[in-house]
Amino acid sequence: MGTYLATSYTIRDRLLQLWNDTQEYYKKEKVKQVCYISIEFLMGRFLQNAIINLNLEENYKKALAGMGYALEEIYEEELDPALGNGGLGRLAACFLDTLATHNYPAWGYGLRYNYGLFKQSIGTDGEQLEKTDIWLDKPYPFMVENHFIRIPIGFCGTVEDYVDPNTKETKEESNRSIWKPSEYVIAQANDILIPGYGTDNTNTLRLWSARAVEELDFEKFSFGDFKGASEQRLNAENLTNVLYPNDNEAEGKELRFKQQYFLVAATLYDIIRRLKEQKRPLEELPDFSAIQLNDTHPTLAIPELMRILVDQEMIEWDKAWEITQKTFSYTNHTILPEALERWPVKLITKLLPRHMQIIEMINWKFLEKNSQVGQNNKSKELRSKLSIIENSWDTLVRMAWLGCIGSHKVNGVSPIHSNIIKDQLFSHFSSIWPKKFVNVTNGVTPRRWLHACNPKLSDLITSTLESDDWIYDLSHLSKLREFADNEDFQLKWAAIKQYNKKKLQRFVKEQFGLDIGVHDVIYDVQIKRIHEYKRQLMNILSHVYNYLQIKKMTEEEKKQLEKKVVIIAGKAAPGYKAAKMIIKLINRVSKVINNDPEIGDLLKVIYIPNYSVTIAELLIPATDVSEHISTPGTEASGTSNMKFVLNGAITLGTYDGANLEIIENIGEENVFTFGIKASEVSQVKQNNIEKGAWNLMPKSLQGVLGIIEEGKFGDPEEFRMILQELKGVDRYILGNDFTSYLQAQKVINETWKNPEKWWKMSIIGCAGSGWASSDRTIKDYAETIWDIKPCPLPKIESNSQLNIIKNDQKLKLNKNYEKKINYYEKQIVLHQKNKRFRRVYNILDDWEK
């Protein structure tokens, strides 16, 4: 651990210098910056990514080797920061990498969770167990606490009328009031410095942690009330303890709502503080910062900015609203009702009374301007559809509606998803503002998701193309098509896949004591958060069917089968009962199949707990078939499908999300597709309601459900909820697609028998992945929504040691190369010996001097 920390601090020190240079240059140039607000940032391990981006990997390998350490072993010492959970957070992390790499001025804003979501393990009965993820119990070198940025955030309290200081009269027409919170929490800034690849530009991810205004009530402590003395501190820290507090109960709802406001209030304060440091008026905010709301969680930023502008900065309402709309843009990531947040008016009124008034005013002004005023039913229906405030079982504020109204652009994240939100979910808004709704398809960073996680494949691509330009511009991969039929290239490609499978094989053996094959074995992988619409249930039910079929076969018939290892990973939200049942069923099925001597190594099913970026980096390069089998029309985009195809896995997927763009870019003949299209889903669902899903279910699936109900995998009562759903309405149409899914698996098995065809499909998939880069995504955002431009730091003089470091060939020719390596060794040793980890600033320039 000491060597990891020492190595990490030398990298951090270099980043601190680059970060200071970057921020000073941005200020000097007064550039417009994007501020990306997200409740999640799933960063993954930082050290390897930073060393690669700074082009220092060879230097550190040699320096550490001289001390008896392997850099790869040092990488393994790092923990994954518990700052996110799924695709939302990983997308945000990819965006930060691209923004820095392409020199866009940018800030990420999120929360520094003490424990993240949870650390997942599997109990002896197959159930998900949730434990505290104590990732901060050891030093995390890459996060710097900024003691100068501490912001008081208010809650509750009262709202008083604004009194004109000149006339001493209340002016209701000003729409201005004074909010006096009754409780405060301090937002403490913690910064992670984000280096770009092949550039000096270094951006910021600023994470807020909650602190009490008064850490200890000394008076209570003096009188022996030791628990009460620390109550304020504990209540404050709860705000940033856990990602997504369980909101099934009232207390959880309140904590989750306060968490979201805490994030946006601290962020807006910080943005406006930086604006004022440049002595620029508030009217210039849209030219200073483009604020992107990553899903509905940060949409409270809209009424918060209005409160600041109207109540504190004394700007008239209409002008403040113009500034607000020009500043914000909103990304919708899902059409699922449960994810389109709706907060009770009573809750908002209690915690943020002034904000509730502002939301009501925004709503009233919008409705008066955009819906027909009158008493006829058509007018009432239109107002109901447009209104931010919904009157149903309770009076609720629709946060997605607020995001639409308060932003100048609203985007979906794939063509199919963008069309759905424009034509269905937000059709009433798109008819008013047709140009407001745009599409920006998601993407992933090739630096982490190929270059870093699959170095052997990265080296093969670079040597084959005789250039590493693809790392910066993924469109260069298209040149690999020329080698798709090349036998020698196919053999090298296949050998790398085997190498990565062996790494995974060792991991499975160490973690689970399970032996899995590598040669002539299909690795079939589905890694996503566990949700009914992602249909992990269909995946495992299909392998129950396959298991039953194998049991009926003769030994001769078994010899004709292709061997398969099925891997599923992902977490279920603590309060999501159906998802947790699916996890239990997967593990129960796995236990039966893996221990049945009649099955042997023909089929293995593995559930890998505590899925993380690090586990993904191990799984994705080893995968042959990646499953993206969501119900059509439910997966907004998906980015794991992009990571897999980039690493040579062949997609097994439905006509949903970014699967459609994979098909478009590499050809449907290079994808295993099945099931119906999104346009057919509503009719299938209607048939299930009218005729009963069980009556329409294929015999193959009926037989599988029957085996489960007979108790083959334990007490069937434990799975009653998910079985009844399938037999009843089958909302995610597993029954309708099951036969087609089994047929697709047969096609996979037959294709596997033809290696030349298989590896050609694999290579073409990678070659057609240029569109899947987050570099393309960010360019689209920058030009279509944010109106920002790259701002690279000026080139360092040619005699600078940094320029020599960045040019590996020149470096190797440099007669002082060995001295340079010795210098790195000394810096690492210096950090090791000093327990307080003394900072070593400007390592390279100091050496030069």
- Name the residue among 623, 607, 599 with its Cα closest to residue 765: 623
CA distance 32 to 735: 51
Strands (E), 123-182: 128-131, 143-155, 158-161, 177-180
Rounded to the nearest 10 degrees, what angle do helices 755-767 and 659-666 cross at?
110
Kindly report the number of other CB atoms within 10 A of residue 730's CB atom: 22
Q: Is 603 exposed, middle or buried (0-12, 13-18, 19+ CB in 10 A)?
A: buried
Residue type, 46: F
Distances (CA, A) of 6 to 60, 77, 135, 190, 673: 12, 12, 19, 20, 49
Within the chain, what is the greatest distance between any pair of CA atoms?
A: 97
Question: Where do we find the tokens 């195809």?
Answer: 645
Which ranges of 564-657 does DSSP label H, i.e. alpha helix?
577-594, 613-622, 640-646
* Radius of gyration of the CA atoms of the chain, in A: 28
- Helical (H) or strand (E) element with 651: strand 650-655
Distances (CA, A) of 724 to 86, 571, 721, 732, 837: 28, 23, 5, 13, 59
- Name the residue among 440, 380, 379, 428 with its Cα closest to residue 400: 428
- 3-state SS track over 95-110: HHHHHHHCCCCEEEEE
CA distance 83 to 42: 6
List the catalytic residues: 333, 528-529, 534, 639, 643
By DSSP bridging, strand 177-180 and strand 158-161 are antiparallel
Neighbouring-strand partners of residue 144: 191
Residue 179 · residue 159 · CB < 8 Å = yes
